Amino acid sequence: MFADLHLHTNMSDGLSTPARVVEIAAGKGFSCLSITDHDTMAGLAEATAAGDKLGVEVIAGIEISTRVGERSVHILGYLMDMNNRSFRRIVDENCEGRLKRMKSMINKLNDLGYDIDYEETLEYIGPQTVGRALLARYMVDKGLFDNVNAVFDTLLGDGKPVCEPLTSFTPEDAIGLVSEAGGVSSLAHPGHTNIDQLIPGLAKAGLDGIEAYNTLHQSAMTQKYEKMADELGLLLTGGSDYHGPGMAGRYIGSVKLPYRHVERLRERASSRAGQEVNQ
């Protein structure tokens, strides 16, 4: 039994519907998955319904945008109560922040001579989570760049001229809010995020796990984070970081997380719920 605990749909910056993601995973023999769209769990109901039909367990998940200085850091949350006030704060504040950031980035693009309209961009994005990837796709569709990577390398990547920080949430904020909502937190793709020196402090702040298994990680990097997790008492998570067809390496099936890690996530969430009852 295997799981993929890092998947994106067209509810954020993915290309496939939640139901289609579940169908692909089922076809590849996965028994469990988690839709971890950016700052939203809008795809959970559709994915769960598809999972019920296909015999695939779908657990609640989200990828929360935070920052350390000017660096983007993503915290994965699992098994959260969607009706919890802390969960609503994550979604509402990051949604508002994404709209403000988009307007600021488009103003910068206009100053640089790119003809991009804010309202037209939002119309193009539609119900999806407003973010840099969708702005980049819009610019490609308008013929301004050949591909999304070129947009990020030139304008939208961290530290590039148009990039704007998304949120005032710190990783510690997100970790605390996930815990308050009854969930379990994990640091997403740490090899890509490049904040190894901060991980011990995040563990002390309540971080539950680390995503050692990710398509962005080579085997030596995976082993490094396995060792770090063991030393810090962190759970191990993993997933493909699938966004849809066409993203090299990030296909469903590129990471197969043994199901025992899902069971450990559930045990951590259950123990947290038990602590709340006893308080």
CA quadruple 269, 219, 22, 99: dihedral sign: positive
CB 3 within 8 A of CB 259: yes
Q: What is the pLDDT of residue 278?
A: 43
- pLDDT tens per residue, range 218-257: 889 999 999 999 999 999 999 999 998 876 668 898 999 9
Are 229 and 252 part of one and the same domain?
Answer: yes
Are 150 and 175 part of one and the same domain?
Answer: no
Q: What is the pLDDT of residue 174?
A: 93
Are 79 and 198 part of one and the same domain?
Answer: yes
Q: What is the pLDDT of residue 279?
A: 44
Specify the residue for token string 């969430």.
Answer: 269
Which segments in the chain show pLDDT lower than 70?
Answer: 167, 247-249, 273-279
Nearest-angstrom CA–CA distance, 225 and 212 = 5
Which of 128, 156, 184 lies at the terminal end of a domain, its last residue?
Answer: 156
CA 84 from centre of chain: 19
Are 9 and 122 part of one and the same domain?
Answer: no
Q: Would you tell me how many other CB atoms lie within 10 Å of the CB of residue 238? A: 27
Are 115 and 62 part of one and the same domain?
Answer: no
Q: What is the pLDDT of residue 167?
A: 65
Are 98 and 77 part of one and the same domain?
Answer: no
Q: Please state the domain count of the chain.
A: 2
CATH number, position 107: 1.10.150
- Whether 16 is in a domain gets the answer yes
- Whether 99 is in a domain gets the answer yes
Q: What is the pLDDT of residue 277?
A: 42
In three-state secondary structure terms, 42 is coil
H or E stretch at 22: helix 18-27
- Whether 218 is in a domain gets the answer yes
* pTM value > 0.95: no
Q: By CB neighbour count within 10 A (0-12 exposed, 13-18 middle, 19+ buried), where does 234 fall? A: buried
Angle, CA 89 vertex, CA 86 and CA 93 arms, to 5°: 160
Q: Would you tell me how many other CB atoms lie within 10 Å of the CB of residue 274? A: 10
- Whether 7 is in a domain gets the answer yes
Q: Domain containing 148: what range?
A: 91-156
Nearest-angstrom CA–CA distance, 94 and 87 = 11
CB 54 within 8 A of CB 82: no
Q: What is the pLDDT of residue 166?
A: 74
- Whether 161 is in a domain gets the answer no
